Amino acid sequence: MADAVLSTRSLEACYGDFQALFGVSIDVYPEDVIAIIGANGAGKTTLMRSITGLLVNKPQMVTWKGQAIGALRADQIARLGIAMVPEGRQLFQSLSVEENLIIGGQVGRKGAWSLGKVYELFPVLKERRNVPATSLSGGQQQMVSIGRALMSNPDILLFDEISLGLAPIIIKSIYEALPTIIGEGMSAIIVEQDIVKAVSVSSRVYCLQEGRVSLEGRPQDLTRDAISAAYFGV
């Protein structure tokens, strides 16, 4: 197997005195799509914040293509090709749809994605390019958020709870579009509470429970009972 592009090693992340992760180690290989599942408060979002640099850790705790990036700032990590579709979409409300997309592309990484390509993927955004991004419907906002992350031509894309607060039909269409979005040469981490959805698109699954990895493996090797036990800790 090739070397992992992204790894965390014994990641211990804290918010002040509160420790949210206890020695979490995960690996993402090239073109790998991994799912991270777990209940509320299991540490999924903390893990995402640690990888993207919003939470600063010890350098060796996160490595990217062999480089220790645990202590880098978020803007430095973004330039390396790690992009995130954050939980709750979090669009810039003072920016138009198009400005939100442009700002995603300003890290200046070359690649397949451009404004035109994003509009090709989500034609509705082109029609509404000049309206404030937060005036769109939830599903359309999620498209902007995904497009914004794609604009940086990332090597790995992190999706944090992309189905949260969206109608089932929208969730379905987003998951159908995922294989197109996670194109060739790109890896992805999908964080979900919806286990079935997450497992259906991933090649490997990590389950977090109270800040620790409680289960990992390929979806076909994991039984429903094992996942339940790892998820709920019963």
Partner 1 sequence: MDWVNAIVQGILLGGLYALFAAGLSLIFGVMRLVNIAHGDFIVLAAFLGLTITSTLGLSPLVALALVVPVMAAIGYVLQRGILNRTLGEDILPPLMVTFGLSVIIQNGLLEIYSADPQKMSAGSLETASLSLPGDLNVGVLPILMFVVAVAVIAGLQWIFYRSSLGRAFRAVSDNQDIAQLMGLNKAHVFGMAMALSLAVVGIAGVFLGIRTSFDPSIGPGRLIFGFEAVIIGGLGNLWGTLVGGIILGVSQNIGAQINPGWQLLAGHLAFLFVLAVRPRGLFPRID
Q: Which stretch binds partner 1 (CB under 8 A): 2-10, 46-54, 119-127, 203-211?
A: 46-54
Return the residues of window 150-189 that contact partner 1 according to CB under 8 A: 152
> Out of 1, 17, 75, 110, which residue is the one contacting partner 1 (CB under 8 A)?
75
Count the site residues for partner 1 by CB under 8 A: 25
90 binds partner 1 (CB under 8 A): yes
CB 130 within 8 A of CB 97: yes
Please, what is the minimum distance in Å from the beta carbon of residue 30 to partner 1?
A: 22
Q: Which stretch binds partner 1 (CB under 8 A): 19-27, 60-68, 75-83, 110-118?
A: 75-83
What end-to-end distance do the CA atoms of the chain give, in Å?
A: 34
Return the residues of window 51-70 that contact partner 1 according to CB under 8 A: 52-54
Return the residues of window 185-224 that contact partner 1 according to CB under 8 A: none
Closest to partner 1 by CB, 159 vs 231, is: 159
Burial class (CB in 10 A: 0-12, 13-18, 19+), 226: middle
Burial class (CB in 10 A: 0-12, 13-18, 19+), 108: exposed
CB 200 within 8 A of CB 33: no
Closest to partner 1 by CB, 97 vs 227, is: 97
71 binds partner 1 (CB under 8 A): no
Closest to partner 1 by CB, 12 vs 99, is: 99
CB 158 within 8 A of CB 83: yes
66 vs 175: CA distance, rounded Å: 31
Closest to partner 1 by CB, 5 vs 55, is: 55
79 binds partner 1 (CB under 8 A): yes
Could you list the beta-strand ranges (E) of the chain: 6-11, 14-15, 18-19, 24-28, 33-37, 62-64, 67-68, 82-85, 156-160, 187-192, 204-209, 212-217
Strands 62-64 and 67-68: antiparallel
145 vs 141: CA distance, rounded Å: 6
129 binds partner 1 (CB under 8 A): no
Closest to partner 1 by CB, 78 vs 199, is: 78
Binding site for partner 1 (CB under 8 A): 52-54, 73-75, 78-79, 83-84, 86, 90, 92-95, 99, 102-104, 106-108, 148, 152
